[in-house]
């Protein structure tokens, strides 16, 4: 029996190594993303246009929720994020997915925004322009719009890292591992944050609903 086990070990090592490599591959940028950033670093205007077109909607949505639906703040931060990404394009080596790298820059910009604010601002009521710009469709019922408002207000009452984790995981659909890379934390830390953030958001929503 022991002989069989010794013979099987190299096989299982190869399987584990293969699986580990595949997991790592899934965390990295693909060759087209690396090539795109290389062209961007060289000042290719077509690369810049594609970069923005591929990521603008998701990035805006992420930032919009982070700043409580304030359109001007979201637009400013998105612009700052893209400008920073263009300046840093030559440093992108594909160690993470391009979207993960970009959202990490955006997270720092959002943190800078709140530091400048020094305190949480009161959440404004949804205007018609915010409905159009923030992804809330005219077909949504008044009840649904009110619920969006309540949830957004609830998110603003959370600590920034709770809010970031929830939006990345449940709004943008990032995996826990991707969320950890954006937030520059360990996977276990993010898992713990998500548990506490869900609990805290539930408490907040009971208070503001």
Predicted confidence (pLDDT) per residue in 160-206, tens digit: 899 999 889 888 888 999 999 999 899 999 999 999 999 998 888 87
Tell me the helices (H) and strands (E) count for the chain, helix number first.
10, 0
Domain assignment present for residue 150? The answer is: yes
Domain assignment present for residue 18? The answer is: no
pLDDT at 84: 94
Range of the domain at 56: 29-118+125-208
Predicted confidence (pLDDT) per residue in 24-52, tens digit: 444 666 888 889 999 999 999 999 999 99
Q: How many domains, in total, are found in the chain?
A: 1
Domain assignment present for residue 24? The answer is: no
Domain assignment present for residue 176? The answer is: yes
Please give the model's pTM, rounded to 2 decimal places.
0.64
Dist CA 63 CA 40 (whole Å): 23
Q: What is the CATH number of the domain that holds 40?
A: 1.10.1740.10
Domain assignment present for residue 189? The answer is: yes
The tokens describing 176, both together, are 């826990």
Domain assignment present for residue 142? The answer is: yes
The tokens describing 178, both together, are 């991707």
- CA distances from residue 130 to 20, 54, 71 in whole angstroms, order as listed: 44, 22, 6
For residue 29, the 8-state DSSP code is P
Domain assignment present for residue 7? The answer is: no
Domain assignment present for residue 98? The answer is: yes
């Amino acid at each position: 029996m022991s002989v069989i086990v010794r013979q099987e070990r190299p096989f299982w090592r190869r399987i584990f190594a293969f699986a580990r490599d595949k997991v790592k591959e899934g965390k990295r940028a693909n060759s087209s993303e690396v090539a795109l950033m290389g062209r961007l670093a060289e000042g290719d205007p077509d690369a810049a246009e594609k970069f923005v077109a591929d990521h603008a909607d998701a990035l805006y949505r992420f930032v919009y929720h982070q700043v409580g639906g304030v359109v001007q703040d979201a637009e400013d931060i998105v612009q700052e994020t893209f400008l920073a990404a263009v300046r840093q394009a030559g440093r992108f080596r594909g160690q993470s997915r391009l979207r993960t790298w970009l959202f990490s820059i955006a997270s720092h910009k959002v943190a800078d925004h709140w530091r400048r604010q020094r305190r949480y601002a009161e959440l404004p009521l949804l205007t018609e322009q915010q409905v159009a710009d923030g992804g809330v469709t005219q077909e949504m019922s008044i009840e649904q719009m009110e619920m969006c408002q309540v949830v957004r207000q609830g998110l603003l009452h959370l600590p920034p890292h709770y809010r970031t984790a929830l939006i990345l995981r449940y709004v943008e659909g990032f995996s826990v591992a991707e969320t950890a890379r954006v937030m520059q934390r360990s996977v276990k830390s993010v898992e713990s944050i998500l548990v506490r953030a869900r609990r805290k958001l539930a408490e907040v929503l009971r208070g503001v609903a």
